[in-house]
Amino acid sequence: MPDPTDLVQSLRANRRQLSRLLTKTENGQAAAEIAAIYPHTGQAHIIGVTGAPGTGKSTLVNALTKYYRQQGRTVAIVAVDPTSPFTGGAILGDRIRMRDLSGDPGVFVRSMATRGSLGGLARATGDLVTVFDAAGFDVILIETVGAGQSEVDVARLAHTTLVIEAPGLGDDVQAIKAGILEIADILVVNKADHPGVDNTVRALRAMLDLGHRVERVNHHGTLRTVPAVPLPDEATAWQPPILQTVAAEDKGIVELAEKIAAHRQYLRQTGVLSVREQIRIELELADRLREALLQRLLATADPAAIQAVIAQVSQRRLSLSEAVSRLLDHTSSLP
Ligand SMILES: Nc1nc2c(ncn2[C@@H]2O[C@H](COP(=O)(O)OP(=O)(O)OP(=O)(O)O)[C@@H](O)[C@H]2O)c(=O)[nH]1
Ligand SMILES: [Mg+2]
């Protein structure tokens, strides 16, 4: 195991070292290093930025980063690249725009391909965030595209999730699915210089009013260990504000940063931060346990036996749940 203090210090002092560990992490080969640096994490404010393609997420991330840098805070950016070939051009665009931040040692940008990331996108992103956190970045911004389950999972890593919308992407805000609205701590209507912004704001407000907002941590975690602490009720729970920005002109960024700070304060003062953290850890632990148990089973089971069970299921001689029982109970005595 690498010496934790040395490792953390070298990450903070040496960008090449940081870069190397990030690559190792992405390749799923940094388990020992992650274990070593883990006690040195938990300081960063993690902000998720998600929304439909082209709404201006990268531009907004850029603008927020400039703001934080003016405040003297360091910023790491994880841009989760879409796999979609349609947005392929935008990836290059992101990198070029981010360039006006590069050369600044207080900013570090990392793009991550969603395709083929080992053991799931959320896990890979989570490990990158751990490295950045240990490396001492004050703010970590995670940009993800869309409204799929993997974006929701990634958003769970964030303390504060911004959902970005823009006018004209379907007047009924169809681009936003209910699921993504649920994870929003702050709604941002970007491109407020475009016509139709009032319609978009109105539609979002109507959708927010439909759902009664209670603190979203108010449920059992996967492993059911989360304590029943008193959480904010409907009256005191955070109500996601709707802000307007023109990211391309740095308009509305100060107000947005202030709301983000207010949300962080809410999380800390109410104790929601630690409860959310615990639920996140539970989910991730359950996920990794599932994966590890499967790997362990596959390592010990006879491949021919697994084949035989699959054949029996396909011949309708075994149901899937019987197949599971058989593989778990009688791995050695399969036909
Ligand atoms: N008019 C206007 N254009 C903007 C604004 N913000 C971003 N844009 C432009 O919108 C386009 C898309 O911006 P991006 O920041 O790349 O959007 P994105 O959401 O990151 O896009 P993907 O990563 O491809 O999903 C770019 O041409 C930006 O210059 C804004 O506030 N107003
Ligand atoms: Mg982008």
Q: pLDDT tens digits, residue range 267-294? A: 999 988 888 888 888 888 888 898 888 8
Distance of alpha carbon 273 from alpha carbon 232, whole angstroms? 12
With the most atoms of ligand 1 within 8 angstroms of its CB, the residue from 50, 55, 58, 59 to mutate is: 59
Contact 10, 17 (CB under 8 A): yes
CA separation for the pair 263, 328 (Å, rounded): 46
- Please report the pLDDT score of residue 177 as a whole number: 62
User: For residue 82, what pLDDT is reported?
Assistant: 57
Counting ligands in written order, which one lies closest to the CA of residue 62?
A: 1
The number of angstroms, rounded, from the C-alpha of 14 to the middle of its chain's C-alpha atoms is 26
Confidence grade of residue 27 (pLDDT, cut at 50, 70, 90): confident
In the prediction, which pLDDT does 243 show? 98
Residue 231 CB partners (closer than 8 Å, separation 6+): 215, 217, 218, 237, 270, 271, 272, 275
> For the chain, what is the mean pLDDT?
83
What distance in Å separates the CA atoms of residue 222 and residue 24, rounded to the nearest whole number?
29
The answer on pLDDT for 170 being more than 80 is: no
CATH number, domain 41-290, options 3.40.50.2000, 3.40.630.10, 3.40.50.300, 3.40.630.30: 3.40.50.300
Average pLDDT estimate for 153-162: 85
Distance from the CA of 60 to the center of ligand 2, in angstroms?
Answer: 9
With CA atoms as reference, report the closest residue to 108 among 68, 153, 140, 152.
140
Least confident window among 25-34, 209-218, 245-254:
209-218
- The domain spans of the chain are 41-290, 301-333
Q: Is the CB of 93 under 6 A from ligand 1?
A: yes
Answer yes or no: is the C-beta of 247 below 6 A from any ligand 1 atom. Answer: yes
Residue 10: the pLDDT is: 93
pLDDT of residue 30: 94
Where does residue 295 rank: exposed (0-12), middle (13-18), buried (19+ CB within 10 A)?
Answer: exposed
Coil, strand or helix: which one is 142? strand
Strands 75-81 and 186-189, by their bridges, are unpaired
Contacts of 253 (CB under 8 A, 6+ apart): 60, 63, 64, 66, 67, 245, 247
For residue 176, CA distances in Å to 181, 185, 187 come to 7, 14, 11
pLDDT at position 140 is: 97
Nearest-CA residue for ligand 1 atom 7 is 56
For residue 61, give the ligand 1 atom closest to its CA: 15
Q: What is the pLDDT of residues 35-94, one digit of tens each?
A: 999 999 999 999 999 888 888 999 999 999 999 999 999 999 998 865 544 444 444 445
For the segment 250-261, the average pLDDT, to the nearest whole number, is 98
* Nearest residue (CA) to ligand 1, atom 32: 191
The torsion of the CA quartet 38, 41, 45, 50, rounded to 10 degrees, works out to: -10
Residues, CB-to-ion distance under 5 Å, ligand 2: 57-58, 94
Residues 111-151: tens digit of each pLDDT: 876 655 445 677 788 899 999 999 999 999 999 876 566 66
Closest residue by Cα to atom 9, ligand 1, is 56
Whether the per-residue pLDDT at 159 is higher than 60: the answer is yes
Q: Which ranges of 14-98 does DSSP label H, i.e. alpha helix?
A: 15-26, 31-37, 57-70, 88-98
